[in-house]
Structure 1
């Protein structure tokens, strides 16, 4: 079994390095920080290498279990994004979801005073766990820019096998930030406000065009990523130009949604990094919106 895992890791590392297209290891360091409102919300691979053994640094991989077993950052815990969905946003459901999430965070070994670094395998979905911790009032949570590929490119070690992280002895109790989350009643009310813009983070052809909240602007979540090499966040200037061209400006309240609130967390992270203050995730997203046929749905492109 160990030899098979070593082969899996070797294949993973070769694939990651092949995907760099000759880019330098320092490229991830160059793309984050400058121009962002909150550069402290990023972790760069070289910083993580220097702080990997710190007792107050908790690392979480937001990846499928089989991908984690094939190779992960040493000392990381693992969870799949599917465990973090909520598609019904009544008060009771949101309260239950938060309680479940807090129990999950304890299982991942996370404590309130930890610096939490979340990463993925190039999917950008790490922003979902970042948003959850941010929503629960966690003080220091960071997204590893470029994910596992950037870590390998910087010479970081990778280990195979399951996580050895022990659950926290102290139950995780958050202090929810209500302003970062929109429930269905608030989304319905916002539909009648001309200044509010809904941003749909889903794919265009097979999701947005098939049906979306009326007036929503489509900016797929992976549009925030650079096209080549490790999936680094685009420079702030490029992101700002992309969103403003779509009519998403800092003076307008923004509600981000997708199918189940996972990909729209990427949109939230991007806009907050650009200095947008009035941004929230409609975490029930289109699954909840479309569950009632009385709610309006538009097809095709936005006007």
Structure 2
């Protein structure tokens, strides 16, 4: 089990589906879980991965809520988690970020999630799975967490890159989902949807091409990368991609634009940000 890859293909999961140390966690919608899910999969509602307190609804739930959640799904220290969703990786990535935050790093992401699994004819079931609860005593590992006070004074630091995974319209300030619209000064915009191959059952696009795109944008592995969206849901996928690509220093800004855009004093830019390739002498 220790050699199972972070990026897991459907055929690999099919071969190890009934391994007793496997915990398959489904972060699809409740309707999709009820209609069809991978045999043995346990459902986590996406809302259970977020605190839900306005305006920054995407912030991490309380330790008490996390203890209840991971006890309910039966997580143990030696459990190998397989995370998947029904949308191409946003919620599964948010779950993997949450596992990093609680110090559980024994996990895989099912490439393509429910779409790939069903499209390729693998078995599904409708019965809900409720494992025996486990005891939890969660401690937060802050290495994967970006808080506004950690980096607001470091926006000019060239060893820091901020990946804004929202749409271009949100980034430019044309579509406003907070008190103020725009983006964090210096942030680089790459929409999370650009990472998903809709012609290949919602799998990630070719990793070599994605790495080349990140390098071109200046989101490089030698920097500390902070990723965010509106609620750190879409940026769950950008965080996950960087994990898969082996980036050593990545953080999720769980306050995201729901926090930044609702504070009167945070610096904000609007319009397009010039990309590094356009700044070469």
Residue of structure 1 aligned with 2:135, choices 165, 171, 174 = 171
Residue 252 of structure 2 is matched in structure 1 by: 281
Per residue, is there more helix in 1 or in 2? 1
Cα 1:124/1:63, change in 2 over 3 Å: same
Cα 1:94/1:80, change in 2 over 3 Å: closer
Cα RMSD after superposing both structures: 2.2
Provide Cα deviations, 1:173-219, integer angstroms capped at 9, x if missing partner: 345432211112113122242331111011112x2121111111101
Residue 105 of structure 2 is matched in structure 1 by: 139
- In 2, the alpha carbon distance for the partners of 1:123 and 1:196 equals 27
Residue of structure 1 aligned with 2:39, choices 53, 74, 77 = 74
- In 2, the alpha carbon distance for the partners of 1:98 and 1:156 equals 36
Q: Contact (CA 8 Å) 1:109, 1:166: kept in 2 or not? A: yes
Residue 235 of structure 2 is matched in structure 1 by: 264
Task: Give 1:7-46 correspondences, 5 Å limit.
Answer: 40-46=5-11
Cα 1:87/1:213, change in 2 over 3 Å: farther
- In 1, the alpha carbon distance for the partners of 2:254 and 2:34 equals 29
Structure 2 residue 86 is the aligned partner of structure 1 residue 115: no
Residue of structure 2 aligned with 1:181, choices 145, 168, 177 = 145
Provide Cα deviations, 1:108-131, integer angstroms capped at 9, x if missing partner: 222221111111113312111111
Task: Give 1:245-256 correspondences, 5 Å limit.
Answer: 245-256=216-227
List alignment gaps of at least 5 residues for structure 2.
Answer: 174-181, 275-281
- In 1, the alpha carbon distance for the partners of 2:151 and 2:51 equals 15
List alignment gaps of at least 5 residues for structure 1.
Answer: 1-37
SS at match of 1:228: helix
- In 2, the alpha carbon distance for the partners of 1:68 and 1:298 equals 40
Q: Contact (CA 8 Å) 2:94, 2:233: kept in 1 or not? A: yes
